[in-house]
Structure formats: structure tokens, C-alpha cells
Structure 1
Amino acid sequence: MLDLDFARDLVMTGVIFGAAAFVWAGWGQERPPEGVTWRVVLVVLQAAGLVLVSFVGIHFLPLAFVFGQPIMVLAAVLVAAAGIAALLLHWKVAAPSFWCGILAGPIFLGPGAIAFVPALAALGGKLSPRAPGGSPSPTR
């Protein structure tokens, strides 16, 4: 049922299902049955989903070594911290999903831009799949 040869894919699958649990349990908060019990159950489900989603930050740690890119360690620490912060911030001000987006969005953009700009310069500003002269670029 699970192909352990692709552990990185399994981690991402866990994150996707964690996000789904978080979102669906959040929808369940709209109008649950009377009483506090169902709200508590839904919050527990959301928290568990958020824990899985915050693992995506930790997921960057092994990738940092695989790709030889230390910036991914920074992203791992910051994204995990953003997931934890989203869980702890005041939910009456905004939903945890808002806090995840507002805190983690810049974290993803920062290292992404830091990696992209020098890569673009290294490519000579060309993002074309063809080499000069019209022939396909060589495979590395």
C-alpha cells in the first residue's frame, strides 16, 4: 500500500492529508451540534492536521543535504515555527489558516527569491529550453 522507496513523497502525502484534515475540520466549525464537545473534537482534529502541515518545514531539512542547499535549513526552521505560531495565535482575530498564510508565505518567498535570482544570473538571464542556435540545450 505504501512505497517506502519514495519516503519524501510519503512525507508530502502526509502533509497534504494534514492540510485536508485542518481545512475540513475548520469547515465543521461553521455550525456543529449544540455544546462545546464537538467544537473541542474539531479543534483537536485541526491541531493534529496543523502538526502534519508544519512538518513540511522539517521536510526541508533532509532536502538541504540532498540538494546541498543550506538555505533550506533556514526555511525548515522558519516554516515549522510559523506553523506552531499559527496554532498559538489568537483565533478570534483570525483563523489559523490566515496565520499560516500570512506567516509562511513570506518565508517561502524569501528563500525562493534568494535561490532564484542567482540561478537566473547563472543561466545568463535565459530561461529557454533551447540553446543558442535553436538546438535543444544539452542535458546535464
Structure 2
Amino acid sequence: MIDDAYPRDLVMTAAIFGVAAFVWSGWAQERPPRGVLWRVVLAVLGVAGLAVAGFAIPLAVRHWSTATAVRFEGPAWVAYLVVVAIEVVACIVLAVWASRSGRSDLIAPLILAVVGIHFIPLAFVFGQPIMAWTGVALAVVAVVAAVIPSSDTTRSFWCGLIGAPVFLLAAVPCLVVGRAAFAA
């Protein structure tokens, strides 16, 4: 599930997923259920994401000159750029569509679905199956968040409450394996 051939890619993935856990747990604060419990849970998820990023980013910077699966002159780099460009355009188009059609409540699930789906081709670009697993899991979370009735909470709450742990469950092993590969 995790290939340790490119530890720099693993720790960067951990950093990105850690920041994503922080961002999604923050967006979930939009309107969680009443009471302090959910805000505390979301805060813990956010802090955990920052902690992972805090360990991963310095490690990635320190080892930036090491090998990566992406060759900047090769087809993997082009594929990476195309996937990210499609992701950005899709997020913008879907957010505008949701807003204009009076369904702004769907913005978070739509964005999470696009983010998740974009990790599937990136799993092939980077040779990391864990990215595909993460992408599929996030897409499922997005669908669930889109169909759950949103009476007293926003859909972004469900995206963050469930999406942040998905990011963390992928980030931590990437960090551990990447760090161990650097130490070997």
C-alpha cells in the first residue's frame, strides 16, 4: 500500500494530507451540532493535522534534493499538472454552479469529491496506492455528506468530521514510512 522508494514523496504527501485535515476540520466548524463537544473534536482533528504537517514539512525540506517519482521533464510531471489543473477548474465550476443554483450547501461535498477523485490518478503518477485508497474514501465521504439531511448542521461538518480522519489515516503511515526510509 506504501512504496518507500521515494521517501521525499511520502513525507510531502503526509504534509499535504496533514494540512488538508486541518483545513477540512476548520471548514467543519461552519455549523457543527450544538454543544462544545463537536468543536473540541474538530479542534483535535485540526491540531493533529498541524502536528503531522509540522513533523513532515521540515523533513521534506531537509531532504528536498532526494529522488522523487516525478521527473520534471517527463510525462509524470505533465500528468500531475493536468490532474491539478482539472481539479482546480472543476472545483471553481462546481462551486459557481452550486451557488447559482441555490445549492451552496453542496459546495463542501462537491469540493471534497473532486479532491478525492484527483488523488486516484495521482496514485499512478507517484506510484503510491495509498493515494488511491484516500481518494476513494474521500469521494465516499463526499457522497455521504451530500445525501445526509442537513437540518441542524452543514454538510461541511460531515465532510470535515469524517474527511479529516481519512486524511490523517493516510498521512501518518506516509510520514512514518518516509521517515524510516530516510533513516535507513
Q: Would you say same fold, with TM above 0.5?
A: yes
Alignment match of 2:122 (pick from 56, 63, 67): 63
C-alpha RMSD of the superposition: 2.8
Residue 83 of structure 1, aligned match among 137, 142, 148 = 142
Corresponding residue SS for 1:94: coil
Q: Counterparts of 2:156 and 2:96 in 1: how far apart (Å)?
A: 12
Alpha-carbon displacement from aligned partner over 1:44-99 (angstroms, at most 9, x marks no partner): x5436743541211111111111111111111110000111111112013100111
**2:47 pairs with 1:10:** no
Most deviating of 6-15 and 62-71 = 6-15
After alignment, is 47-56 or 80-89 more displaced?
47-56
Higher Rg of the two aligned structures: 1
Cα separation, 1, equivalents of 2:84 and 2:131: 17
1:103 Cα shift? 1.1
| Structure-2 residue corresponding to 1:102 | 161
Aligned letter for 1:70?
A: P
**Separation (CA, whole Å) in 1 of partners of 2:115 and 2:171:** 15
TM-score by length of 2: 0.49
Cα distance change of structure 1 residues 53 and 15 upon mapping to structure 2, 3 Å threshold: farther
Q: Which has the higher helix share?
A: 2
Counterpart in the other structure of 2:132: 73
Partner of 2:180: 121
Q: How many residues align?
A: 105
For structure 1, the residue ranges without an aligned partner over 5 or more in a row are 26-37, 126-140
Q: Normalized against structure 1, the TM-score is what? A: 0.62
Q: How far does residue 122 in structure 1 lie from its aligned partner after superposition?
A: 1.3
CA distance in 2, matches of 1:50, 1:96: 7
Q: Is the 8 A contact 1:18 1:53 kept in 2?
A: no
Q: Distance in 2 between matches of 1:76 and 1:60?
A: 5
